[in-house]
Amino acid sequence: MTTAEDRSESLRMIRDSAAGIAPRTSDLKRIRALRFTEPGFDKSVWREMCEMGWLGLLVPEDAGGSGLGVQEFCALTEELGASLIPEPLIAGAMAARLLPPDHLADVLSGERIVLPAWQSRPLSLELNDGGHVGNGRITGKKIFVPMAAGADTFLVTVPGGFALVDRHAAGVHLDCQTTQDGGNQGTLTLEDAAAEFIPGDATEAFETSIMATSAYLLGAMDRVFGMTMDYLKTREQFGRKIGSFQALQHRSADLKIQVSLARATVNAAAKTMDDSGDAAVRKAAVSRAKARASDAASVVTRGCIQLHGGIGYTDAADPGLFLRKMMVLAPAYGSAALHRARFRDLAPAGDED
Amino acid sequence: MTTAEDRSESLRMIRDSAAGIAPRTSDLKRIRALRFTEPGFDKSVWREMCEMGWLGLLVPEDAGGSGLGVQEFCALTEELGASLIPEPLIAGAMAARLLPPDHLADVLSGERIVLPAWQSRPLSLELNDGGHVGNGRITGKKIFVPMAAGADTFLVTVPGGFALVDRHAAGVHLDCQTTQDGGNQGTLTLEDAAAEFIPGDATEAFETSIMATSAYLLGAMDRVFGMTMDYLKTREQFGRKIGSFQALQHRSADLKIQVSLARATVNAAAKTMDDSGDAAVRKAAVSRAKARASDAASVVTRGCIQLHGGIGYTDAADPGLFLRKMMVLAPAYGSAALHRARFRDLAPAGDED
Amino acid sequence: MQQDLDALSDDAFRQVVRDWVEANYPPEIRNPLKRLHWDECKSWYFLLAEKGWLCPGWPTEHGGMGLSPGKQLIMLDEFERHGCARTIDQGVLMVGPLLIAHGTEEQKAFFLPKVLTGEHVWCQGYSEPNAGSDLASLRTVAERDGDDYVINGQKIWTSMAMDANWIYVLARTDRKAKKQEGIGFFLVPMDTPGITVRPLLTLDLNEEFAETFFDDVRVPATALVGLPNKGWSMAKALLGFERIFVGSPKQSAYALARLRDLAARMGVTDETDFQAAANRHQQDVDDLTDLYETYVEQVRQGEVPGPDVSMLKVYQTELYQRITETMLEIAGEHGGMLEPMEGNRALNPAGLFLQSRPSTIYSGTNEIQRNILSKNVLELPG
Amino acid sequence: MQQDLDALSDDAFRQVVRDWVEANYPPEIRNPLKRLHWDECKSWYFLLAEKGWLCPGWPTEHGGMGLSPGKQLIMLDEFERHGCARTIDQGVLMVGPLLIAHGTEEQKAFFLPKVLTGEHVWCQGYSEPNAGSDLASLRTVAERDGDDYVINGQKIWTSMAMDANWIYVLARTDRKAKKQEGIGFFLVPMDTPGITVRPLLTLDLNEEFAETFFDDVRVPATALVGLPNKGWSMAKALLGFERIFVGSPKQSAYALARLRDLAARMGVTDETDFQAAANRHQQDVDDLTDLYETYVEQVRQGEVPGPDVSMLKVYQTELYQRITETMLEIAGEHGGMLEPMEGNRALNPAGLFLQSRPSTIYSGTNEIQRNILSKNVLELPG
């Protein structure tokens, strides 16, 4: 990554490569079929993604990854969001980035699925709660573990590092709840379970996951907005294309502005993640991007349901799939309200005078 | 006041009588001419109002007034608001209601103008601050005294009652600031000035003034909204009446809803003032009405400027007069935020389950 | 007995209704989270029927209560207050009044008693796929063939079509007539050959609605109510009441109560942000209630509310949605879950959020309502 | 010297501009509350002229700086950052570029130097009373009469007409041509017989604008720039830059800084409600800045932003208004006062509230901008 042109080429290549698994033109049949199943995603697609190098995108090259940046990862997850891909790449890549090189081989190949369990309270961004490790055993509780039903191993954040816990080890209890998008989130209860402690700091990987989720939401809102514009150009009522009604036109313009703001903030924050060395500046940018992405995704998906009219309220129509994805991901890795509060605590007041 | 029909007849008569001084069809020449003058209103019109019995509307019949209710007074001030009448009837009627019968003769006739000075801090509904009476002297400071430049006497609220202070007495300093609507508000500084103490409680008269101000705002927003609808029906752009554009139609519909909500809450609260004996219920209703009236007046007047386009931004066009009146009266007697907070403290949470 | 009720003062009548409802309403279906199917709500239907309270608006000679509009609203208000489920009430609200006004003696004698007993369960065949809010452009056709009519076409959003055994259908009898003319009103058994029902799964994963297909459905001419070209105007005249109901603040008030439950569960009841949001919603609900009351008063006076009643629908449904949006914000990650929190249906942010979505679409989208307001109330140019 | 500046790195150039502005800008007109009149801003105009920095976009051979678009934006950015007043710059921004592109050698030789010296102060005669946002339907007429044109009509919203000694005017030269054709671009001295200027008092009680009347105003044919039917298309081509400026986040950022000043004065800085509102505004400003930067980058790359740039104008102006509305809420009774609090112009809630009002109207109303977005960006049907 040296010049801006290299970067832009690298981002283009990532987007192109995404089209193999997540083409923007595809219907959403595969996504529909996987809803409300276990584990809620397709392990063979997972392996394909691993073969494309996506899981190790952020892993240094000398550890077997691609050593790319947050901007590339966000470009990829934006494409995944546009197709509502359910495979837990954001979570998986966070774990891969935190694992020591000697643990990575079967993970990067897709044989073993390691997912992070970082959260212990609702509406929290705290990584260090909910688990205590000692003498190779762990006790604790983590919640909202994304797509937990598909994990082989959990990477549990604890003070000072992470604990690797086998899903089937004694003392490991996993209770999966179905989410609105047809996936699942796990409550992981650990009672003196065998665990391998790995010292480290998950902060950067975690911030990257927040960004990647923002980009996923961006892709999703952009796609459903595009679908809706197509609908307005074809659907007729009162003898006219409904897209010719000014009230719907102006509403569409407002949604377009939200999508564009989300795109600008996500791109800028991803660049800040790659370029800035100031932790507070990075976190402020990340929080602002996630807040905008979550809010805009909510406004845009709701607006698209309304613009579709009655058909938008059927499960058979696609906009609802995007609305339900928003319901899961807008609060994931911190809701808009949580990130607005974090931004307020981090950001200097404007320097205008 | 016995039956609903009597009441409705009484309200109709009040509205009819208002038409003499504040006809809804009038242009606003008189109002324009009085702006930015001193005292900002016309004392001969004030005397006419007194002759109509408006100042004593709420004063008991045996004290020389009409003994009517809050609903009648609000019906009247709504009409005044529709014509942006600058004469300080709301303030004057508050004072009249608080004065003992033996002080009323020259006040009700319009000879002597007594205006209340109740406020000592911005954004406050506290009547008891800012003045101390002893031995027939008063020291203190009151602010935002409406149309103070026209007062002969101030009725200053103090703990336990009011103090009557002559505008020209020694120790009375009045500093008048011009308001956006072209009127004025006074800062009244009292330094050991001669004062007559009158024991009493201003609460009910004060609550009535809040209601009357809400009704005035209602009248104002209703009139400017009507003007704007007329404009949309005549003004042409792009070869069409601009009122035929759906975006403006829908915005107009939303403003209409705000006007209607304001009307419903003001009428209901005025009725509660007349009918309910529960002080908390009355105050909650008043606060809800003022909050809605202030907010709706802001939304409606701003919207009407926008719907007028460029011409709406000239001082020569009438919508601006309504906007500026809103700027003065939306915060007067408690802003929307202040009344929302008071409502929250008073109102029981909903009883739905 | 009905005569006695109508003679009571409003307050006394309200107390009678409240006492009876509190003593008799089946507790297991109080405040249901979704529209109930016939199996779930029929106990309440039969209870009302037995008490003689099923049809408050019908004249007593047809088995109704003959109540004044004001008293009817009080009754509904008490039902809503208690959280009574809506029954499958199209027979009561639509078919009965239409037949009483326009039906033949034979039609009245045959159909009205069967509504009163619950033998006939009705659904409504109005909306069509290409005539969402544009009802007058419907395409379903009823062609005269000897003594019969043959119906072809497709209806959508048929509420409770799977539960109903009869459907009333608007169908075009004259293709040459202008939009809203040439439409007839037909009464059709659901088991008539040629009728197919396909359930529509909605976003909240319920099957309240269905598509109903008519494929050469043959009915006798006696299935027609009134004149063959007056179906739409007859049907429209019955919509007055519904236009008030969709603006009732009860729905928003219910959602706000659930928001407070959720806040308590999430431990944010005392937080300033929550209090400001909830207080704002409370005032919006109360202000809407004041406005709603002005329309109730009109009905009480025997007046028919004008087109300005659309204000209620617009404001109520958007307020309802705002409240459920606050709910999602407070719920955090729980707002993405499929099931209510801890199996407690009072803590169901995702469910209420989804259920509030179509409210701005059904009964004439809010865009249509704003068109009505601007054209028929504000009289802005076409 | 200009060549040197263009060769600098962006950062170095920015520093050069900043240092000079900080050392030289007249402090008494920093962050003015309103558009300055010629008497008030000419010191800054002459300072720029003397430095050779008056016309960054003009080629060097005409006395400009010949700066790249990217560098021009940096310069503007620094001017805005420091709170420099806008001068009466129509000669610099519009007349100069238009003449350079379409003027005759004589026109260039006569007019360009007089812009550079400030001898000619220009105002713009575009808008008309019946063609607010609908510029193409203008009615002012320029009729050919021998070697002259005779202009009749009325212009409105002529900014700084009282200060200007020249006006450029769009007038119809061919009444039969279609809307946007048949319009010529004329350069007219303000003291020509038949021109009357009537100041327009705006809501903030300023006289920035005027109505300008043309009553048989006779000008020589050399007053015409370019072809008699190409005035509108020439003028339109110059609007590109302006479409970015009106979306600059600086205006909102300035208002937000004043909101914080006001909050400190009112003692609410630490209140949760205020913090939530201010934080929300801050994020909106910062998000808008990110979006704005994408357009600045386009300009830097030499691209001309497309119609989607309207997004900036819509969002910026409405954000600006939201911020001033929060200001009024916090100000309470002070928000109704005519003068700034305590004579401190940083504490002027009513003034900023009023000044923000026309922002959604001028430069094409936000309704027009949304039309552009839906038609030219989203390509929704007419």
Across residues D193-207, what is the average pLDDT? 94
Q: Above pLDDT 70, what percent of chain B? A: 98
With contacts defined as CB-CB under 8 Å, which chain A residues touch D290? 261, 264-265, 267-268
Domain assignment present for residue A289? The answer is yes
Mean pLDDT over all residues of chain A? 95
pLDDT of residue B353: 42
Closest residue on chain C to B344 (Cα): C279
At residue B7, the 3 state secondary structure works out as helix
Q: How far is CA C7 from CA B125, C13, C292, in A?
A: 47, 9, 25
B245 vs A: CB within 8 A? yes
Q: How far is A244 from chain D (nearest CA, A)?
A: 5
C162 vs A: CB within 8 A? no
Domain assignment present for residue A351? The answer is no
Across residues D241-246, what is the average pLDDT? 75
C336-364 tens-digit pLDDT: 999 999 989 889 999 999 999 999 998 88
Q: How far is A344 from chain D (nearest CA, A)?
A: 6
Q: Does C61 qualify as catalytic in the annotation? A: no
Tokens of D235: 């003028």
B261 and C290 in contact by Cβ < 8 A? yes
Domain assignment present for residue A353? The answer is no
Closest residue on chain C to D275 (Cα): C273
pLDDT of residue C2: 47
* Among candidate residues A82, A68, A306, the one with its CA nearest the CA of residue A208: A68
Q: Above pLDDT 70, what percent of chain C? A: 97
Closest residue on chain D to C276 (Cα): D273
| Contact status, residue A81 vs residue A43, Cβ threshold 8 Å | no
At residue B118, the 3 state secondary structure works out as coil
C293 and B250 in contact by Cβ < 8 A? no
- Whether residue D219 has pLDDT greater than 50: yes
Half-sphere CA count of D55, side-chain side, radius 13 A? 24
- Whether residue C150 has pLDDT greater than 70: yes
- Assess whether A24 and A94 both reside in one domain: yes
D157 and B310 in contact by Cβ < 8 A? yes
Across residues D239-253, what is the average pLDDT? 82
C132 and A337 in contact by Cβ < 8 A? no
Instruction: Name the residue facing B292 among C257, C287, C308 (closest C-beta).
Output: C287
pLDDT of residue B279: 95
Give the highest mean pLDDT range of A106-115, C4-13, C199-208: A106-115
- Whether residue B7 has pLDDT greater than 90: no
Q: How far is C317 from chain B (nearest CA, A)?
A: 13
Q: Give the CATH number for residue B140.
A: 2.40.110.10
C333 and A332 in contact by Cβ < 8 A? yes
With contacts defined as CB-CB under 8 Å, which chain B residues touch C367? 250
With contacts defined as CB-CB under 8 Å, which chain A residues touch B247? 246-247, 249-250
Q: Give the CATH number for residue B216.
A: 1.20.140.10
| Contact status, residue A314 vs residue C202, Cβ threshold 8 Å | yes
Buried b (16+ CB within 10 A) or exposed e, C213-232: bbeebebeeebbbbebbbbb
With contacts defined as CB-CB under 8 Å, which chain D residues touch C273? 272, 276
At residue A197, the 3 state secondary structure works out as strand
- Whether residue D76 has pLDDT greater than 60: yes
- Whether residue A352 has pLDDT greater than 50: no
Considering the candidates C50, C119, C242, C271, report the single residue annotated as catalytic: C242
Give the confidence band of D134 by pLDDT, cuts at 50, 70, 90. low
pLDDT of residue C318: 98
φ, ψ dihedrals at C224, nearest 5°: -80, 135
With contacts defined as CB-CB under 8 Å, which chain C residues touch B256? 311, 373, 377-378
Closest residue on chain B to D341 (Cα): B177
Pairwise CA distance, residues C112 & C61, whole Å: 11
- Assess whether A189 and A140 both reside in one domain: yes
A25-54 tens-digit pLDDT: 889 999 999 999 999 999 999 999 999 999
In a 10 Å sphere around its CB, with 0-12 CB exposed, 13-18 middle and 19+ buried, how is residue C277 labelled? buried
- Compute CA C19 distance to the chain's CA centroid, rounded to the nearest angstrom: 25
Residue that terminates a domain, selected from B91, B108, B125: B108
D283 and A288 in contact by Cβ < 8 A? yes
- Assess whether A124 and A231 both reside in one domain: no
A314 and C201 in contact by Cβ < 8 A? yes
Residue that terminates a domain, selected from A108, A129, A152: A108
Higher-pLDDT residue of A223 and C134 is A223
Instruction: Name the residue facing A250 among D290, D315, D374 (closest C-beta).
Output: D374
Where is C7: in which H helix or E strand? helix C2-7
Higher-pLDDT residue of B351 and B68 is B68
Non-local (6+) Cβ contacts of C330 within 8 A are C259, C262, C263, C266, C268, C274, C349
Q: How far is C284 from chain D (nearest CA, A)?
A: 19
| Contact status, residue B342 vs residue B125, Cβ threshold 8 Å | yes
Across residues A154-170, what is the average pLDDT? 97
Domain assignment present for residue B353? The answer is no
Across residues A213-228, what is the average pLDDT? 98
A247 vs B: CB within 8 A? yes
Task: Name residue C96's amino acid.
Answer: G
- Assess whether B233 and B316 both reside in one domain: yes
| Contact status, residue A167 vs residue A154, Cβ threshold 8 Å | yes
pLDDT of residue D372: 94
pLDDT of residue D35: 87
Closest residue on chain D to A234 (Cα): D381
With contacts defined as CB-CB under 8 Å, which chain D residues touch C272? 272-273
A10 vs B: CB within 8 A? no
- Assess whether B235 and B129 both reside in one domain: no
- Whether residue C137 has pLDDT greater than 80: no
Whether the link from the prior residue into A88 is cis, omega within 30° of 0, is no
Across residues B146-153, what is the average pLDDT? 98
Q: Which chains touch C (3 or more CB pairs under 8 A)?
A: A, B, D
Residue that terminates a domain, selected from B108, B129, B146: B108
Pairwise CA distance, residues D317 & A169, whole Å: 59
Instruction: Name the residue facing A314 among C200, C332, C336 (closest C-beta).
Output: C200
Q: Above pLDDT 70, what percent of chain D? A: 97
- Compute CA D84 distance to the chain's CA centroid, rounded to the nearest angstrom: 14
Q: Tokens 């550079």 map to which residue?
A: D116
D133 vs B: CB within 8 A? yes
Q: How far is B299 from chain D (nearest CA, A)?
A: 10
Closest residue on chain B to D265 (Cα): B122
Give the confidence band of A350 by pLDDT, cuts at 50, 70, 90. very low
Give the confidence band of A6 by pLDDT, cuts at 50, 70, 90. confident
Closest residue on chain C to D271 (Cα): C272
Across residues D12-41, what is the average pLDDT? 93
C332 and A122 in contact by Cβ < 8 A? yes
With contacts defined as CB-CB under 8 Å, which chain B residues touch D333? 119, 122-123, 143-144, 185, 331-332
- Assess whether A332 and A256 both reside in one domain: yes
DSSP-derived pairing of the beta strands A114-117 and A153-158: parallel
Domain assignment present for residue B19? The answer is yes
Which residue range(s) make up the domain with A41? 4-108
- Whether residue C246 has pLDDT greater than 90: no
- CB proximity under 8 Å: D 276-305 to C: 276
Mean pLDDT over all residues of chain C? 92
D203 and B248 in contact by Cβ < 8 A? no
- Assess whether A100 and A9 both reside in one domain: yes
Domain assignment present for residue A322? The answer is yes
Comparing A11-20, A105-114, A326-335, B284-293, the range with the smallest average pLDDT is A11-20
| Contact status, residue D123 vs residue D162, Cβ threshold 8 Å | no
pLDDT of residue B1: 45
Q: Tokens 């659907």 map to which residue?
A: A235
Domain assignment present for residue B351? The answer is no
- Give the number of residues written for chain D: 382
- Assess whether A91 and A121 both reside in one domain: no
Terminal alpha carbon distance of chain A: 37
Domain assignment present for residue B163? The answer is yes
What is the count of structural domains for chain B?
A: 3
- Assess whether B97 and B82 both reside in one domain: yes
Q: Give the CATH number for residue A50.
A: 1.10.540.10
* Rg of chain B in Å (alpha carbons): 20
| Contact status, residue A272 vs residue A282, Cβ threshold 8 Å | yes
- Assess whether A246 and A338 both reside in one domain: yes
E strands, chain B, where? 114-117, 131-134, 137-146, 153-158, 161-166, 172-178, 184-194, 196-199, 236-237, 240-241
Instruction: Name the residue facing C361 among A185, A313, A337 (closest C-beta).
Output: A313
Across residues B87-92, what is the average pLDDT? 98
Across residues C248-276, what is the average pLDDT? 95
- Assess whether B188 and B265 both reside in one domain: no
This complex has an ipTM of: 0.95
Tokens of B309: 């386009």
Give the confidence band of D1 by pLDDT, cuts at 50, 70, 90. very low
Sign of CA dihedral D150, D152, D156, D161: positive
Where is D145: in which H helix or E strand? strand D141-145
Q: Above pLDDT 90, what percent of chain B? A: 92
pLDDT of residue C210: 95
C314 vs B: CB within 8 A? yes
Give the confidence band of C176 by pLDDT, cuts at 50, 70, 90. confident
D321-340 tens-digit pLDDT: 999 999 999 999 999 999 99
- Whether residue C31 has pLDDT greater than 90: no
* Among candidate residues B131, B176, B135, the one with its CA nearest the CA of residue B157: B131
Pairwise CA distance, residues A57 & C279, whole Å: 48
- Assess whether A241 and A262 both reside in one domain: yes
